[in-house]
Homo-oligomer: A and B are copies of this chain.
Amino acid sequence: MITFSKDDIRGMEKRFRANFINSISGFKSANLIGTSNEAGVLNLAVFSSIVHIGANPPLLGFILRPTHVERNTYNNILVKGYYTINAVPEAHALEAHKTSAKYPPHVSEFDKTSFHSDINSYGVPYVQESPISITCRLESDQLIELNQTRFIIGQVIEVKIRGEISGDGYVDMPSLGVAAITGMDSYHKVFAGTRFTYSKPDQPVDIISE
């Protein structure tokens, strides 16, 4: 077992620490956030920080770093009030990763990658190749004082699924070909999962499906 102390972490070379800290929390979702600016230029950027906040009302959050690429996303969200969250197909991981390049605001990532856009009824683009596209309405925009990132929360107002969903509402990511991310740059295919029944004190947990 290797132990890294607070001083060990502080002393890491910058890029090494970025890889390390971005890795240790485990698997992350792989999503493309689609936005539009006032001139109608469509933006697309890969994010691995989408987090479930609650189901009723349906809320999803994500972390925005104070960087260039993501400032396009941020400015567009503030202007339009709507954005889309599109699952990265594992087969298109390289194209998704390309959207992390820092293009200027007048360049659309839809022109720099193989992804195709469609504009929904809220005026924001979704990704035709994504098996899941979620339209969100901005609800909350909080500065995280600790490191000047932002915590953005949106309400889910439309969901498009190119595939089947289970009878109980569960949507199966592996069968839809959705990727997972680890660290800053690794994209993964995922095995079919094992679903367990609701866990109650001192009662056995059964398998729903595997």
Residues of chain A whose beta carbon lies under 8 Å from any beta carbon of chain B: 1-6, 9, 12-31, 48-61, 63, 65, 85, 87-88, 93-94, 97-103, 107, 112, 132, 134, 139-140, 142, 144-147, 149, 151, 153, 156-162, 165-166, 168-174, 178-183, 185-203, 205, 208
Contacts and interface: CB of A to CB of B under 8 A. Distances in A.
Contacts of A158: 3-6
Contact of A202 (B112, B160, B192): B112
Contacts of A55: 17-18, 20-22
A11 to B, nearest CB: 12
A134 to B, nearest CB: 6
A195 B4 CA distance: 24
A108 B46 CA distance: 40
30 contacts: A2-B161, A2-B165, A4-B158, A4-B161, A12-B169, A17-B56, A18-B169, A21-B58, A22-B52, A23-B170, A25-B50, A25-B52, A26-B30, A26-B132, A28-B29, A48-B52, A51-B51, A59-B147, A61-B151, A97-B196, A100-B199, A101-B201, A101-B203, A107-B201, A139-B146, A144-B153, A186-B194, A187-B193, A190-B190, A191-B191
Nearest to A182: B173
Contacts of A178: 26-27
A64 to B, nearest CB: 11
Nearest to A173: B182
Contacts of A187: 193-194, 196
Give 6 nearest A-B pairs by CB, closest first.
A26-B29, A19-B169, A16-B169, A23-B171, A186-B193, A27-B180
Nearest to A56: B17
Contacts of A23: 169-173
